[in-house]
Every structure is written in structure tokens, then in C-alpha cells.
Amino acid sequence: MSNPKLSHAQGTLEVIMNQNVSLSCHSDSGSPPVRYTLFKGKQQVATLNRTDSTPAVFNLTINSASDVGEYKCKAENRISNNGKYSKPVNLTLIEPVSKPVLSSLTSRANKGQNVTLSCLSENGSLPITYVFFRGRKNISRPIRMQKKEAAMLFLFINSSSDFGTYKCKAGNSFPNNTKYSNSFNFTLA
């Protein structure tokens, strides 16, 4: 019997809360019947018996943070002693970004002054990508942050249009969940 292969039917190993996940376990060689057992860490989750050479598909629902982590499966038949284990598959939970906060050390500025805007989502799985806007126009390239740190935009106040309304948006790999910040305005000092 060969070592089984454990794979995630949806392809990605990133999951979201309340998602249904199918893990498929299959040994290419080995005489049926084969008993497949799914483990989370060292704990047995479920067992399926196959009388043919089709994969065992384990269906899980991600209900809490304890449902993510390392999974592996074991395949055994009458011939194999102790069975064979798959390589582990690690499911990670993606957390949506929270509404980012746009701020600056100063809200008053003069023409000819350098100012800094910072944008930070307190929550959300990394990496988080930020984009800054003045009005409806984006004024920065996407800034990808690998740590829980604010994205910074350095501005030179050059004309009256630079006193417009600023916003930023934040997003990550969580589907359909881009969030926009509060508005921020510089006033003439």
C-alpha cells in the first residue's frame, strides 16, 4: 500500500468561518477494502471504508478556530501493518479586514508642507492591501502589508486641491470584503 495523498477539493487551504470543506484521501496502490481515517493533529476525526479504489471524501464544517490547523489521513487494509499516513495539510482561517482608520499627526497644513497619512485595519488576516484616495481618485499604488502595521502615504501639500477629502480602503484574501475608512480632511493652517 502506498502512502495516501490528502487534498482539499476546493484547492485553496485558506478557509472562512462556517465554510464547508471537503478533504479527499486516496492511496494509489493497495488492495481494497481500504479503511481511511482522518486526523486533526493526533485526534481521530472520522473513518470511511472503501471497497473499491475511489478516494474517501471527508466533509467538514469550519465552525471555530479549533477546526483549522493540521490534518492528515491514514490508509490501511488487511495487508498493511499499522497503515500509512499522508503528508499533512494545513487549513488556515482567513479573517475579514475591519474598517480601516485613516489618520494623520496633523489635520492642519500649509501649502508647501509635507504631511503623512496612515491607514490601518486592526483586524484581518495578513497580508492586507491598502489604497489611498483623494475624492474618488486613487492616489497610491496598492500597498501590501505583511505585518499589522499602518500603510503610510507621504504627501506634499502643493495646491488647494490637496486640501480635499481623503480615504483609504483595505482588503485581503477574504472574498468580497473590501472596507473603506472614515474621511479625512486637511484644513489650511
Q: Tell me phi and psi for residue 15, to 5 degrees.
A: -130, 160
Question: pLDDT value at position 94?
Answer: 92
Q: How many CB atoms lie within 10 A of CB 71?
A: 24
Please state which CATH number belongs to domain 101-188: 2.60.40.10
Quick one: fold of 5-93? Answer: Immunoglobulin-like (2.60.40)
**Cell numbers at 32, concatenated:** 481494497
Has residue 12 got a pLDDT over 80? no
Q: Band of the pLDDT at 143, cuts 50, 70, 90?
A: very high
Cβ-based burial of 168 (10 A; exposed 0-12, middle 13-18, buried ≥19)? buried
Radius of gyration for the chain, computed over Cα atoms and rounded to the nearest angstrom: 25
First CA to last CA across the chain, in angstroms? 77
Structure-model confidence comparison of residues 174 and 29, the more confident one: 174
Question: How far is residue 22's CA from residue 161's CA, in Å, rounded to a whole number?
Answer: 53
CA 110 from chain centre, in angstroms, equals: 41
pLDDT above 70: percentage of residues in the chain? 99
Domains 5-93 and 101-188 equal at CATH topology level: yes
Domain boundaries, the chain: 5-93, 101-188
Question: Kindly report the CA angle at 107 between 106 and 109, in degrees rounded to 5?
Answer: 85
Question: pLDDT value at position 1?
Answer: 79
**pLDDT digit string (tens) for 146-186?**
999 999 999 999 988 898 899 999 999 998 999 999 999 99
Query: Measured between alpha carbons, how far is residue 111 from residues 106, 117, 132, 140, 184 in Å?
Result: 14, 16, 20, 20, 17
Query: Measured between alpha carbons, how far is residue 88 from residues 8, 44, 68, 81, 91 in Å?
Result: 11, 14, 12, 20, 10
**pLDDT digit string (tens) for 39-78?**
999 999 999 999 998 999 999 999 988 999 999 999 999 8
pTM: 0.70
Question: pLDDT value at position 17?
Answer: 87
**pLDDT digit string (tens) for 78-110?**
887 789 999 999 999 999 999 999 999 999 999
